[in-house]
Amino acid sequence: MAGHETHYTLPRAAFDKPVKILIVVAPYYKDIADNLVAGAKAEIEAAGGTWDLVEVPGALELPTAIGIAERLSNFDGYVALGCVIRGETTHYDTVCNDSSRAISMLGLQGLCIGNGILTVENRPQAEVRADPAGQNKGGGAAAAALHLVALARKWGTASKGVGFKPASDDYRLAGSTKGTPSA
């Protein structure tokens, strides 16, 4: 059973300057969402960061809210939190797949997002995963976002001696007379 396995956890991300994270939560199952948020807040604060919190109606709206915040605000990273419990219809599959896919697409565009959307079969599974004293998936999602922010800052500032630089106009035109098209 996965709940009894031991997993490696990366050391907490460290920052030279403050980090600001937006926690976006879908509180459809309010008690579960509150536990996820508590875990996320604690992890962000432990790393010396600050956070803002917004609520959206459901898991499908989480990526949209993150996309809006990225365009209109100044957050370093994002934590998406919510819970989807399997029901009697295929709506569960749609919500799980589409919310996860949209968050992944935002991540591939360069956003630093920790995905803490629980996708479970029943309420007891969600309660165990959301509990900050248990599996603490909210804290884990915040830790993931913080690690991505740390990587973005590291790679965003390392510009000397890394990668290729485009040739200057003078270099490209050295073989031809400026202003004269080359054959």
Domain count for the chain: 1
Residue ranges of the chain with pLDDT lower than 70?
Answer: 1-4, 157-183
Q: What confidence tens digit (pLDDT) does each residue in 87-106 have? A: 999 999 999 999 999 999 99
Q: What is the pLDDT of residue 174?
A: 52
Q: What is the pLDDT of residue 2?
A: 58
Residue 51: inside a domain? yes
Residue 168: inside a domain? yes
CATH, residue 144: 3.40.50.960
Residue 151: inside a domain? yes
Per the structure, the complete domain to which residue 139 belongs is given by: 18-172
The predicted model scores a pTM of 0.83
Token pair belonging to 63: 């990526």
Q: At what angle do helices 30-46 and 137-157 cross, to 10 degrees?
A: 40
Residue 64: inside a domain? yes
What Cα–Cα distance (Å) separates residue 17 from each residue in 33, 100, 168, 181? 29, 30, 34, 50
Enzyme catalytic residues: 91
Residue 139: inside a domain? yes
Residue 166: inside a domain? yes
